[in-house]
Chain A
């Protein structure tokens, strides 16, 4: 299926995708890559403009209410009945659809797990952004739906919330439930997945098992060098010829180098940059993650940094 927005903008290039019961799938991509569009299509919020979509064994066309009752969907915007309490909201959204899987009164453990138990009787109008996000996730999880769709679940979520989310998803998966998570966070959430999809500018560029992707990262080291850029613009220095350098790319704050010899190319890299007239502000050497793999495949960062260091004498190296 594919999707084009009414304005003519491509939301999602046609893709062929099959997700089975019990799978946990992470959809990674930067903002505007089509993650939310894909999830909205799967939630039947949008209808494909090309191709066809089948959910839980039935085509997603015609009257969709019964199908929607089987989908737990936490969208990227947490909207609630603000005058009702958190508990009342969770109950209201559970009770709206008769086929909800959760039994009445089963919300309390989830409120405890997400550390919302102390505010469960407080009107949602008094909730913080993070609390609203947690409540939204809790509401989707409480349905025990065979298909759970989570859009950017890590936004506004604190570490206990992330743990609660993981536990709930794993519980669901053990019962045969399928979870699809859209995120541009790479360190925690995709690591729970069996399978990872990379979306770039509305196109599916990778669909592979997590284990396979992690294998591709073995033996690679990422060297991030932040440069001072007094005149703005990206550094135009070619570092790819240096021994041990597999790939070199300009980044918003400097250069990012992938090395096959851990930190060994560092002196040569520093020398080349200084000879090129650059000033080094900071250097970080770390193991690569899925974000690096995405960068190497697409040339675009999953979560581009907007901060750009300015000239600062104290930070000179």
Chain B
């Protein structure tokens, strides 16, 4: 494994310093008023979860659509890069960069929430799993969308739908189908970790819940690699 795409993504991200600073500053600007304003834990954790997930899915889908449209991705594929490597490494690099860019916002959440550091044990892996899932979602969205506007629409709808399924906007429904879906969706652990981090009542997610999030992310990652050739073909081949 040479990880050329992974290395290239990090290099490109750090070369665009203004964009990097914006990606660090904007989430911070959105988080601080909620954290400093004393928003109730349930609302604050929901807002953060939505923000972090949309950050991941938009950040993955939009550049893929743009580079698919201008021919750059097609050029990379025609250079002989294996499609699973292209998409897999992009997702890993994208999630890694999202983590770095969200450091100031996460720090603000923890600082204003007066969080017990023990929460980090579940928050960090939950965040990584959620961002990986959001980036994978971006790949599927880019494969299905025909324009950047369509991509933005699909990313919003798909992310919000999955966030709803993860119990972010509703009272948990024990025992029903909703609860079963909620248990396996990777955003649930992030939401619950953030809920605990901002001082919400109840215990942070158990290691079992975090493991489920990691497992479902891994399944989605492997499924994406399995059909990477078809996805890459849809993303990189201009219509016509």
* A99 located at the interface, meaning its Cβ lies under 8 Å from any Cβ of chain B in the complex: yes
* B170 located at the interface, meaning its Cβ lies under 8 Å from any Cβ of chain A in the complex: no
Please name all residues of chain B whose beta carbon is closer than 8 Å to the beta carbon of A5 when the two chains form the complex.
240
Please name all residues of chain A whose beta carbon is closer than 8 Å to the beta carbon of B4 when the two chains form the complex.
92, 95-96
Q: Among B8, B11, B78, B229, which residue has the most Cβ atoms of chain A within 10 A? A: B78
Q: Which of B1-49 contact A (CB under 8 A)?
A: 2, 4-5, 8, 11-12, 15-16
Main SS of the interface on chain B? helix
Judge whether B12 and A79 touch: CB under 8 Å.
Answer: no
Number of interface residues of B (CB under 8 A): 24
Please name all residues of chain B whose beta carbon is closer than 8 Å to the beta carbon of A81 when the two chains form the complex.
8, 12, 72
Judge whether B75 and A75 touch: CB under 8 Å.
Answer: yes
Judge whether B240 and A79 touch: CB under 8 Å.
Answer: no
Judge whether A79 and B79 touch: CB under 8 Å.
Answer: no
* A93 located at the interface, meaning its Cβ lies under 8 Å from any Cβ of chain B in the complex: yes
A83 vs B2: C-alpha distance in the bound complex, in angstroms? 22
* A279 located at the interface, meaning its Cβ lies under 8 Å from any Cβ of chain B in the complex: no
Judge whether A84 and B15 touch: CB under 8 Å.
Answer: yes
Which of the 9-residue segments B80-88, B112-120, B151-159, B206-214 touches chain A?
B80-88
- Size bracket of the A interface: 20 to 34
Q: Among A5, A45, A99, which residue has the most Cβ atoms of chain B within 10 A? A: A45
Judge whether B70 and A79 touch: CB under 8 Å.
Answer: yes
* A273 located at the interface, meaning its Cβ lies under 8 Å from any Cβ of chain B in the complex: no
* B239 located at the interface, meaning its Cβ lies under 8 Å from any Cβ of chain A in the complex: yes
Judge whether A83 and B12 touch: CB under 8 Å.
Answer: yes
Judge whether A69 and B80 touch: CB under 8 Å.
Answer: yes
Interface string of B108-148 (1 = CB under 8 A from A): 00000000000000000000000000000000000000000
* A66 located at the interface, meaning its Cβ lies under 8 Å from any Cβ of chain B in the complex: yes
A69 vs B4: C-alpha distance in the bound complex, in angstroms? 14
Judge whether B78 and A45 touch: CB under 8 Å.
Answer: yes
Smallest beta-carbon distance B69→chain A, Å:
10
Q: Which of A1-48 contact B (CB under 8 A)?
A: 5-7, 43-45
Please name all residues of chain B whose beta carbon is closer than 8 Å to the beta carbon of A79 when the two chains form the complex.
70-72, 75
* A73 located at the interface, meaning its Cβ lies under 8 Å from any Cβ of chain B in the complex: yes
Smallest beta-carbon distance B205→chain A, Å:
39
Judge whether A98 and B2 touch: CB under 8 Å.
Answer: yes
20 additional contacts (CB under 8 A) given A45-B78, A69-B80, A79-B70:
A5-B240, A6-B240, A7-B240, A44-B78, A45-B74, A68-B77, A69-B79, A71-B80, A75-B75, A79-B75, A81-B8, A81-B72, A83-B16, A92-B4, A92-B8, A96-B4, A96-B8, A96-B76, A96-B80, A99-B80
